[in-house]
Amino acid sequence: MFRLVLCLTLVSITLSFPCQIYVDNQNIEDVEGCGSISQPCKTIPINSTSVCLSSGRHEPQLVRSSTAVISCDLEPFVRWSDISFLSWDVISGELCEHLDLRSMQGLQTILIRDSHFTAQVIFRLKLTKLTPIEITNNTFSVFGVTYVGSLNITMENNIIDSVQFMEESKLSFRDSFEESQQRLIRNKISRVSVMNLHRTSTTLYGNEIGLVFYFTAYGNVHLSHNQFSQFSVSTAFNLNMDAESNVWMNDHSDTKALSIEGATVSGSIRIYNCSFEGYDNVAISLGIDSYNVTLDRVRITNCNAEGVRIALLSGMFQSLERKKNRINITSSDISNNWGAIHISGRGFDNEVHIYNCTMTNNTSPYGAVLFIYSANTVSSIENMYIDVPITSEPLRDNIYSAVYVSHQFSQKNNTLICPEGMYLYYPENKTEFVVNCVSCGRMQYLNGNGEMVQGTTKKTECLMCSFGMNCTKEVPQAQPGYWCKENKEGEIRCKLCPDGYCSGQTHAWNDSCVDQRNGILCGGCKDNHTLSFLTSTCLPLETCRPEWISFLAVIPALYVVVLVFLPIGDGSIWKSVSYYVQTLPLIDVHDGIISATSSIFNAAPNNKGSSFLRLCIGQLDYVHRELLSLYIPVFTVAVLAVGSLAITLYKKRNERKQTEYVLLSEDIQEEEWQDEQEKRSYQSRFTTATITALLLVYSGIISICLKLLFCVEIHGEWVMYNAGNIRCTGPERYVMMAVAALIIIPSPLLLIYVRYKLKDTKGNVGKDVLMVIDGCYRDGRKYWEAVFILRRFLVAAAYVFITDRQMSAAVMLILFGISLVLHLRFTPFAKNVGQDLETVCLISLCGLLTLSTMGNDTMTHILNLILIYIPIAFGIMLVIHKAYVKSAKRTEMYSDNFF
């Protein structure tokens, strides 16, 4: 059976490649005439020209063979020892698990092609001359060559787990042998291990190699268009490495990409157009003595250690002639790593030149970009671009700076950009080149960032934090409700925004505006937005509802009708309630119903509850919007005043006889006066309606006029506080100033003057006017309406001119507290209901102002609502009670007349 299998095997070999002699070591002995397929020899005959060998172990012989075919069909382990060949090609099948060729001499060419080995292939060769070995298109688990002599091997298009080249330590052969040559071309190899003891020329081109490890490297190494995970040299002598267009990539394992730790006895390392990415250790690590190192167009990124680390060795071979270490790093990008370049050590007469490199976002807390520390080194740093990230958090000490170069150096045209909010630390020092980015101290800030641009530095110190700023972070922020701007000196100055214009949270100093606002003090609207009525929010132009303007146009007519036919009475209820409702928006009460009601006569700028009405008519600036806001109150007063004047002129023109006005005694009852209202003339009705309208709209008009007059200085330029994009110039402003100075502001005195002129009048109109002005006040307190007007003026002035809402609330609280004390002390109202209602209103206002300083929690909100509506509910109850009493008395009067 065995013979049959052997014969079939040899037949198959014969068909694939003809042989002169067939050898099977399992035969018992050699017989005369052996060597055929049917009767193979046990040993290899001397001077055979073509041999086919079965697998197994064969005795030493000299084989003069052009081809030896190895068959592993019967035994997967093949070992040849001390067999000499003159010319030999190896063609092997796929079943050899271990091929061990030892001490083979006299070989001219060794070829292994198109084969698959599941285990090891190891050559142990003693080479007396340059014997070519070609390994092409094979698959190996392990391929190794242990040799004495000169190795000339070419490996191309192989797939190998491990490749091993090792020269045996027989140094007596070194000088007599030629330079070894190792060429690896377009292979896929997991690991390459090399130990060369004499000069070798190694070329790696187009390979995909996981690890290349040189125990010793001596000679020339050329790397081109390869992809590596790790390339490491433990010891190097006279190494000349040229690496071009290679890629080092790793998945963040703790290995170095390119490591040459002991490069001595002079040499050169040139790395050109290579990239390194994804290492948890150093990308390029060199330990050199008397070497020229060039890194040109190198890209290193995403490494968790330095991109380049070079140790300048102090000299391992002191007896040899010493040369300089020359390091040139040019046109390279070393970014997004833990560090960029670290060069240190002693060395001997070193030169470092770094030119035209980019280093950004390197995060080491010391030497984040460039660190050179060597007593015997001359450094030249030129045309660098460095961007220091804020995450590096560098310290101020010189040795921990982003850039630190010691001893002899020159630098020019370098650019270094610090993170936002950090200043440039660049001390004048002739022995050290130190540049760093430093955070500002407590209550300090820097708008922007320090930088060195082409050697010119700016923003090298921090500024003190100003009022309205929050300087607890690297980038300055604005406090809630503040708007900030940088002046020409680079200082940030902040001012309180008009209420509702700016963010209510701590925010970026240059991003304060809310509700589609922009500009100085957020006084304007963004593109395609416009100011609207009844709200401070800027609305999109396409969402405006001009139809509401038509409705607003008829409101003055409705007010005229109501005021003309409204019984005048003593006025204590409507005065207290209306003044109270108009005051609420000025103390930051944002209830929707109250805001909508008060906005009719008092266009509060902080009213946001009515924005759903979309009361906008197109593109308007602040001045025109405020002037249009005066339409309802001013037009109402104007219509009534014109009506009163027209009736007066009409009466005089027709020379109507005036009826004598009978003075009423002091004890006349109000009910009798109310019965006489049916007989009031139209002149009286229009005149009293005009006075009533003036009293009602006074707060709204005075607040709008004061806002239009209120200007602040922003970096040397005066602008309107509520519309910072409008300068305080122009004829309109002077007209408003004249009106305010001559009419609106002196109005309390004007009211006293009118009352003084009318107090002795005997006409019905004059009496009716007095009834509106002071009818609700008792004798000796008839002047109290002027006190009311003065209080309203002071409250409006505090609201407009005191921009700090807390301070404004405090001043208003003082005003209302004083008003409450004076009200209780002088009891100005003639009736208790008026006195009680005004007391409730003042107490409610004081309570609301107190709550405004206590936050916005749920309980505070509930208390606010209670305090807001108590005076209104009390006023409604008084009106209902008054109407009920009046109705009951009229019913009783009719009953008496009937019976």
Q: What is the pLDDT of residues 466-503, one digit of tens each?
A: 888 888 877 788 999 899 888 887 788 888 888 888 88
Nearest 5 degrees, angle CA 337-CA 339-CA 343? 140
Q: Cα 887 vs. chain centroid, distance in angstroms? A: 71
Instruction: Give the DSSP letter of residue 780.
Output: T
User: Whose CA is closest to 806, among 481, 536, 505?
Assistant: 481
Q: Which of 235, 233, 274, 230 is nearest to 254 (CA)?
A: 230
The string over 104-138, giving b where at least 16 C-beta atoms fall within 10 Å of a residue's C-beta and e elsewhere, is bbbbeebebeebebeebbbbbbbbeeebebbbbeb
pLDDT tens column, 599-622: 555 544 444 444 455 567 777 888
SS (H, E, C) 504-539: CCCEECCCCECCCEECHHHCEECCCEECCCCCCCCE
Which of 626-635, 764-773, 829-838: highest mean pLDDT? 829-838
Q: pLDDT tens, 182-213?
A: 999 999 999 999 987 677 899 999 999 999 99
**Cβ proximity of 123 and 151 under 8 Å:** no
pLDDT band per the 50, 70, 90 thresholds, residue 270: very high
Comparing 168 with 449, the larger pLDDT belongs to 449
- Determine the angle formed by the axes of helices 858-898 and 832-851, rounding to 10 degrees: 170
Q: Record the tokens describing residue 633, joined without a space.
A: 């109150």
H or E element at residue 709:
helix 682-709
Relative to beta strand 711-714, strand 717-720 is antiparallel
pLDDT tens digits, residue range 377-392?
889 999 999 988 876 4
The angle formed by the CA atoms of residues 635, 726 and 741, to the nearest 5 degrees, is: 50
For residue 454, pLDDT over 80 is answered with yes
The 10s digit of each residue's pLDDT in 572-581 is 888 888 888 8
pLDDT attached to residue 242: 96
SS3 state of residue 30: coil
User: At residue 181, does pLDDT exceed 80?
Assistant: yes
pLDDT at 45 over 60: yes
Residue, of 818 and 783, whose pLDDT is higher: 818
Structure tokens, 38: 């049917």
Answer yes or no: are the C-beta atoms of 263 and 270 closer than 8 Å: no
Q: What sign does the dihedral 562-563-567-570 (CA atoms) show?
A: positive
**Do the Cβ atoms of 225 and 205 come closer than 8 Å?**
yes
896 contacts: CB under 8 Å, gap ≥ 6: none
Rounded to the nearest angstrom, the gap between the alpha carbon of residue 188 and the centroid of all alpha carbons in its chain is 44
Contact 374, 350 (CB under 8 A): yes
Q: How many CB atoms lie within 10 A of CB 18?
A: 11
H or E element: which one contains 718? Answer: strand 717-720
How many residues can be counted in the chain?
899
Q: pTM of the entire structure? A: 0.63
Token duo for residue 392: 């590096």
| Phi, psi torsion values for 168, nearest 5 degrees | -70, 150
Strands of the 67-70 sheet, one edge to the other: 21-23, 50-53, 67-70, 90-92
Q: What is the DSSP string of 601-651?
A: T---TT--TTGGG----S---HHHHHHHHTHHHHHHHHHHHHHHHHHHHHH
The answer to whether residue 358 scores a pLDDT higher than 90 is yes
Decide: 586 and 603 in contact? Cβ < 8 Å: no
Q: What percent of the chain has pLDDT over 70?
A: 75
Give the residue with greater pLDDT, 376 vs 103: 376
The helix (run of H) or strand (run of E) holding residue 219 is: strand 208-224
**Cα–Cα distance between 747 and 721 in angstroms, integer?**
25
Q: Look at residue 58 and give its three-state secondary structure.
A: strand
HSE value, Cβ hemisphere, 13 Å, CA-based, for 601: 21
Residue 597: pLDDT band (50, 70, 90) is low
Which helix or strand (DSSP H or E) is residue 849 part of? helix 832-851
Write b or e for each residue in 471-498: b if 16 or more Cβ atoms lie within 10 A of its Cβ, otherwise e.
beebbbbbbebbbbbeeeeeebbbbbbb
Q: In this structure, which long-range contacts are made by residues 30-33, counting pairs with CB atoms below 8 Å and at least 24 apart in sequence?
A: none
Mean pLDDT (the chain) is 77
**Single-letter residue type at 149:** G
Dihedral pair phi/psi, residue 837, rounded to 5°: -65, -45
Q: With a cut of 60, say whether residue 760 has pLDDT above it.
A: yes
Q: Based on DSSP, count helices (H) and strands (E) in the chain, helices before strands.
A: 15, 57
Give per-residue burial for 221-246: e unless 16+ CB within 10 Å, then b. bbbbebebbbbbbebbbbbbbbbbeb
pLDDT, residue 70, reads 53
Residue 460 pLDDT level (bands cut at 50, 70, 90): confident
Please write the tens of the pLDDT for every residue from 214-230.
988 888 999 999 999 99
Interatomic CA distance for residues 793 and 747, integer angstroms: 9
Partners of 287 in the β-ladder: 311
Structure confidence at residue 590 (pLDDT): 54
A 10 A CB-CB count for 427 gives: 11
- Give the lowest-confidence range in 152-166, 530-544, 616-630, 735-749: 735-749
Q: 19-28, 286-295, 786-795, 832-841 — which is least confidently predicted?
A: 19-28
- Strand 723-727 relative to strand 482-486: parallel, antiparallel, unpaired? unpaired
- Helix (H, G, I), strand (E, B), or coil: what is residue 16? helix
Give the span between the Cα atoms of 137 and 697, in whole angstroms. Answer: 100
Question: What's the mean pLDDT in 866-875?
Answer: 88
Q: How many other CB atoms sit within 10 Å of the CB of residue 875? A: 22
Rounded Cα distance, 518 and 504, in Å: 15
42/206: higher pLDDT: 206
Dump pLDDT digits (tens) for 828-867: 988 888 899 999 999 999 998 888 877 677 888 888 888 8
| Pairing assessment for the beta strands 477-478 and 469-470 based on DSSP bridges | antiparallel
Which pLDDT score, from 0 to 100, does residue 28 have?
67
pLDDT at residue 176, as a whole number: 44
Looking only at the bridges linking them, the beta strands covering 50-53 and 67-70 are parallel
pLDDT in tens, 526-565: 888 888 776 778 888 887 777 767 777 787 888 888 888 7
Q: Is the pLDDT of residue 117 over 50?
A: yes
Burial environment of residue 852 by CB neighbours within 10 A (0 to 12, 13 to 18, 19 or more): buried
- Confidence band of 777 (pLDDT split at 50, 70, 90): confident
What's the average model confidence in pLDDT over 118-142? 74
Whether the per-residue pLDDT at 174 is higher than 50: the answer is no
Query: How much of the chain exceeds pLDDT 90, in percent?
Result: 17
